[in-house]
Amino acid sequence: MKIAVYPGSFDPVTRGHIDILERTSQMFDKVVVAVVHNVTKHALFTLDERKEMIKKSTKHLDNIEVECFSGLLADYLRQKEATIIIRGLRSMVDFEYESQMSMINRQLIPQADTVFIMSDPRYIFVSSSGVKEAALLGGDVSSMVPPLVEKGLQEKIKQIKI
Span from 3-11, 22-30, 116-124, 151-159 in contact with ligand PNS (CB under 6 A): 3-11
Strand partners, 4: 31, 84
Alpha carbons within 13 A on the beta-carbon side of 113: 4
Task: Confirm or reject binding of residue 142 to ligand PNS (CB under 6 A).
Answer: no
CA distance 87 to 120: 13
Sites for ligand PNS among residues 98-127 (CB under 6 A): 101, 104-105
Strand partners, 68: 35
Sites for ligand PNS among residues 53-82 (CB under 6 A): 72-73
Task: Confirm or reject binding of residue 8 to ligand PNS (CB under 6 A).
Answer: yes
Taking residue 31's Cβ as centre, other Cβ atoms within 10 Å add up to 26
Tell me, yes or no, if 161 is annotated catalytic: no
Among residues 106 and 156, whose Cβ is nearest to ligand PNS? 106
| Residues with active-site annotation | 17, 41, 90, 128
